[in-house]
A and B are shown apart, each in its own frame.
Chain A
Amino acid sequence: MVDHPIVETTDIKAAVDALKQKFPDTIQDDTRQGYGGIIVDKNHLVEVAAALRDEYGFDYLSSATAVDYFGISDHMEMVYHAYRTSGGPALVFKAQTSRDNPEIPSLINIWPGVDFQEREAWDLYGIRFPGHPNLKRILLWEGFDGHPMRKDWQEAYYEEDHKPFESRWPDGWVHRAEERNVYGKNVKYPADFDLSKLSDKSEESLYADLGLGVSIQELTDESHIKTDRLVVNMGPHHPSTHGVFRMIVTLNGETIETLEPVMGYLHRNHEKIGERNTFLHNMPFTDRLDYLSSMGNNLGYALAVEQLLANGARYQPPTYRAECIRVLMVELTRIVNHYWAIGFLLNDLGAFFTPALYAIAEREKILDFFEATAGSRMMCNYMRFGGVFKDLPERIRGVASRMNDLVRDYNTMEYLTELINERIPQSIDELDEYLTDSEIIKSRTIGVGYLPPEMAIAYSTAGPLLRASGVPYDVRRADPYSIYPELDFDVAVRYNGDIYDRYLIRLDEMRESVRILKQILPRLERTAGEPIFAGSKQHTPRVPLGEAYGRVENPKGELGFYVVSAGDEKGPQNPWRYHVRAPSFISLTALGPMCIGHKVADVVAILGSIDIVLGETDR
């Protein structure tokens, strides 16, 4: 891809040293306690980034996010995690700016995948990115007052900076938040906001500031010759958008000319809540991100916090059995998610609900197991720092339930064995038989929504979307965690980069997951009865200062948690920063480019093939 020489090393330090030689005065090591990586002078950020990509091979920018160090060192910074698609750990680099006039040059020309992430940083932190062509709010609406992730911003029902709140105990006479702050008085507008804009229903105002690249005025002007160009709003309430997600498309006939995704309808400022929470409190909140794969979310967050805890003295890593159970859970989750993704992709293609229901019927069997083990079918809340909630139960149904449900009373290991060796492989084969050769599906999907590999990398897409474009990048292999290094599986990869390959790769991945699960079963039997925790399970651990980026290969792609522990010298109990690198959100960057030139009906299928979930996109 590049004609420059690539420094052939997976060693990050060598790359950093070479970089320091090239840019002697602009780069410093980040020497804060528990931090790593380098701090780049923001005036040279673009050059350094270009060198990183072109000369040192860091072609994949996983995450870009902001942190506000209000009250600690009173600056803001952008934190970037760059990787090589050939594998290896991250090169973390940061750029700092003042809080009063925060400005950091945009990296959109180096890695177009930062597009949405920079818009998010502008939206939530108020950092401006000169050079970004379309810098506007992304999750909040244009009339929103302030930038909510700033440390000095307080939400409508603000009570205290950190949980647990004083009012709950020992003098906890209950009251509702809305009794104190009655609805209607908690909406603020910026001083110069024109409220009449809210009731202005004209086409122009509706589509103003959306960067559509066409003049609405011209389109609606009666005096001009009528063209067949049309602006169409798809969503936010539409079955094909997988939630509340809106796409504004301009059509020329049936053909898409521009597509602008609009999101944030499900935004709840998850990350702000995460900073009010204690470290443990966040665990069940991660379930609500990608609510189809809560086990995977749990693991990503647990890995991030465990990285921090490992710097302290008292931490003990999870036992081998705990690791086996974790892998068991996340691989089952991958299968669950792909059943769902395939079923609903077929919905989007017009095969209304028959394939989806066949897939869901199988998924239910796995959810039964989750429910018996973790207590909930979807909101599993199963991982803990240094282990998991509890060992597998002896039987799927408890004694009491056996009275009225003889149906699902199984020995857990027998159930799992049958599930993994018989049911799941059979149902994958059935889906394969059912769908793969269908001429209708082929004609709707082959060659549609093509994403070339260079673009897939540049847009920081992840997971099946990236791998269906011929980039064999899988965090489980590229930057391994848990016990994946000792497991035998292949990274599924397909090369055509269209919808059909994205469907096929999900089948491939399910088969690989079954392969992993078959290796996990004997390990589980071998370790039966061994403890889950090497240390003790703590509810409010003190977390040593520092930063950590925990990432896992979630079913939808790379899920990352950037967690900062700062402030309290003794080790804070609440994260200073809690950021989610959501694969659905970032993969959507590629939606527009993939859709251009296709028909309206294809947009729905292309969106379905990315497999997004709005709980994670909007956070």
Chain B
Amino acid sequence: MYGQGILKGLWVTFRHFFNTYVDDIRYAGRKYFRQENFPIRQGLKAQGAFTVQYPEEKLAVPERFRFTPFLVVNDPDHPEAPGEDWCTSCGICAKVCPPQCIWIVRGSDPTTGRPVPQPVAFFIDIDICMNCGFCAEFCPFDAIKMDHNYELASYDRTTHHIHDKQHLSKPLSYWKNIAPTTALEEAVARGGWEHPDVLKAMKKAGQTAVTPTWENMFAKPEPPAKPLPPADAADADPAKAERLRKREEALARKRAAEVGEPVQPAVEAAETPAPAPAVPTGDKPKFDKQAMLEKIRQRKADKG
């Protein structure tokens, strides 16, 4: 019969149309007006209309989502070097950046003129950034990561869209919050929650870093248990002597900080007095979803 195909097609359209109302009636309109009902509309079992009421509602992005990069710095409550850059200005991210939108000024020692592993300035032109994620992927120090904030539009691109170091820097805990799985994986690969250089120094000094797990993700890094060994006087290499001198200085600062501000016990430790050691599954740390969710909720509540 001519027209049968059209009727069949109309039936499909009608089904879609009808399902919208079935869902509406089932939830009596609630599915639109309350945040909690978001899953009803967006889940795999949803029927009918799928609209997200942006910007009132937003879809969460997955952990690996990449927008523009940010620079990792120590947390403000870090016992030794709060707010210190993780970036060593090695320049690899600037090299692998396809549109060449990363600009780095490497620091140098004013007396010796030697490069020091700290960027003086760091710029990313976010108009040019193509959100590829190479910088984060290839940074050997885990110092640059991809942010999840995609709302960067502004009325004036010439004044707002070159992000400088201050704008780019975000604490490590921010990264742990937006991408905990990845942050943990990276920390496991590094061998501790600290900066690779710190971990290296600790290893040299014979100290062992805390093995990263879900439990100690937000614990404060502990100050080293015993002081680093004294410099080897027989070593005549000026560069090495210089490095040792710096390390001594850092250590002195560290001790001063210890005296000034006693280390608080980690919040997590207070919550769970006897933290059960994570049961390793393979070589991956075990993921305890409940505890993790609790922790994140706690932190959110703390922030207000």
Interface set of A (CB-CB < 8 Å, partner B): 163-165, 167-174, 176, 277-278, 280-285, 354, 358, 361, 364-365, 371-376, 379, 381, 389-390, 393-394, 396-408, 410, 418, 423, 430, 433-442, 529, 539-540
**In angstroms, how far is the closest chain B Cβ from the Cβ of A376?**
6
Question: B120-174: which residues lie under 8 A (CB-CB) from chain A?
Answer: 121, 123, 125, 130-134, 137-138, 146, 162
Question: B44-97: which residues lie under 8 A (CB-CB) from chain A?
Answer: 44, 50, 58-66, 89, 91-92, 94-97
A539 touches B131 (CB 8 A): no
CB-CB under 8 A from A389, the residues of chain B are 133, 137
Decide yes or no: A437 and B103 within 8 Å by CB, A164-B94, A284-B132, A399-B292 being known contacts. no
B38 touches A172 (CB 8 A): no
B91 touches A170 (CB 8 A): yes
Q: Which of B98, B138, B182 has the most CB of A within 10 A?
A: B98
A280 to B9, CA, bound (A): 47
A176 touches B3 (CB 8 A): no
Decide yes or no: A437 and B102 within 8 Å by CB, A399-B180, A539-B138 being known contacts. no
CB-CB under 8 A from B3, the residues of chain A are 439
A436 to B103, CA, bound (A): 55
CB-CB under 8 A from A439, the residues of chain B are 2-6
B262 touches A (CB below 8 Å)? no
Q: Which residue of A lies closest to B121 (CB)?
A: A173
Decide yes or no: A398 and B106 within 8 Å by CB, A376-B65, A393-B64, A407-B42 being known contacts. no
Taking a contact as CB atoms closer than 8 A, the residue among B44, B66, B102, B181 that contacts A394 in the complex is: B181
**In angstroms, how far is the closest chain B Cβ from the Cβ of A547?**
23
B131 touches A376 (CB 8 A): yes
Among the stretches B20-28, B224-232, B243-251, B293-301, the one at the interface with A is: B293-301
CB-CB under 8 A from B5, the residues of chain A are 436-439, 441-442
A438 touches B104 (CB 8 A): no
CB-CB under 8 A from B29, the residues of chain A are none
A165 to B128, CA, bound (A): 15
A75 to B168, CA, bound (A): 48
Q: Which residue of A lies closest to B283 (CB)?
A: A529
A381 touches B132 (CB 8 A): yes
Contacts A/B (CB < 8 Å), 24 sampled:
A164-B96, A164-B97, A168-B95, A172-B104, A174-B103, A277-B98, A280-B134, A283-B98, A372-B64, A374-B64, A375-B133, A376-B66, A389-B137, A394-B287, A396-B62, A397-B60, A399-B63, A400-B179, A403-B293, A403-B296, A407-B39, A408-B43, A430-B12, A439-B5
Decide yes or no: A438 and B9 within 8 Å by CB, A174-B123, A403-B296 being known contacts. yes
A399 to B42, CA, bound (A): 18
CB-CB under 8 A from A381, the residues of chain B are 132-133
Q: Which residue of B lies closest to A160 (CB)?
A: B100
CB-CB under 8 A from B257, the residues of chain A are none
Q: Which residue of B lies closest to A394 (CB)?
A: B181
B293 touches A399 (CB 8 A): yes
A77 to B175, CA, bound (A): 51
**In angstroms, how far is the closest chain B Cβ from the Cβ of A217?**
47
CB-CB under 8 A from B42, the residues of chain A are 407-408
Interface of B is mostly: mixed
B105 touches A171 (CB 8 A): yes
B208 touches A (CB below 8 Å)? no
Q: Which residue of B lies closest to A430 (CB)?
A: B12
A176 to B5, CA, bound (A): 59
**In angstroms, how far is the closest chain B Cβ from the Cβ of A373?**
7
B92 touches A539 (CB 8 A): yes
Decide yes or no: A440 and B6 within 8 Å by CB, A398-B181, A400-B178 being known contacts. yes
A152 to B255, CA, bound (A): 61
CB-CB under 8 A from B178, the residues of chain A are 400
A400 touches B125 (CB 8 A): no
CB-CB under 8 A from A529, the residues of chain B are 282
Taking a contact as CB atoms closer than 8 A, the residue among A361, A400, A406, A437 that contacts B4 in the complex is: A437
Q: Which residue of A lies closest to B38 (CB)?
A: A407
A25 to B95, CA, bound (A): 48
Decide yes or no: A169 and B106 within 8 Å by CB, A381-B132, A418-B44 being known contacts. yes
A393 to B12, CA, bound (A): 35
CB-CB under 8 A from B39, the residues of chain A are 406-407
**In angstroms, how far is the closest chain A Cβ from the Cβ of B213?**
14
B91 touches A169 (CB 8 A): yes
CB-CB under 8 A from B296, the residues of chain A are 399-400, 403
Q: Which residue of B lies closest to A441 (CB)?
A: B5
CB-CB under 8 A from A441, the residues of chain B are 5
B264 touches A (CB below 8 Å)? no
CB-CB under 8 A from B134, the residues of chain A are 280, 284, 539
B130 touches A379 (CB 8 A): yes
CB-CB under 8 A from A376, the residues of chain B are 65-66, 131
**In angstroms, how far is the closest chain B Cβ from the Cβ of A561?**
16
A105 to B66, CA, bound (A): 49
Q: Which residue of A lies closest to B157 (CB)?
A: A176
Taking a contact as CB atoms closer than 8 A, the residue among B8, B103, B115, B182 that contacts A172 in the complex is: B103
**In angstroms, how far is the closest chain A Cβ from the Cβ of B36?**
9
CB-CB under 8 A from A361, the residues of chain B are 50
CB-CB under 8 A from A402, the residues of chain B are 289, 293
Decide yes or no: A437 and B137 within 8 Å by CB, A390-B64, A398-B179 being known contacts. no
CB-CB under 8 A from B297, the residues of chain A are 403
Q: Which of A410, A418, A539 has the most CB of B within 10 A?
A: A539
A403 touches B179 (CB 8 A): no
B289 touches A399 (CB 8 A): yes
CB-CB under 8 A from A430, the residues of chain B are 12
Q: Give the 10 A-B CB pairs with smallest separation, nearest first.
A: A398-B63, A437-B5, A405-B60, A172-B103, A170-B106, A284-B132, A169-B91, A281-B98, A174-B123, A401-B60
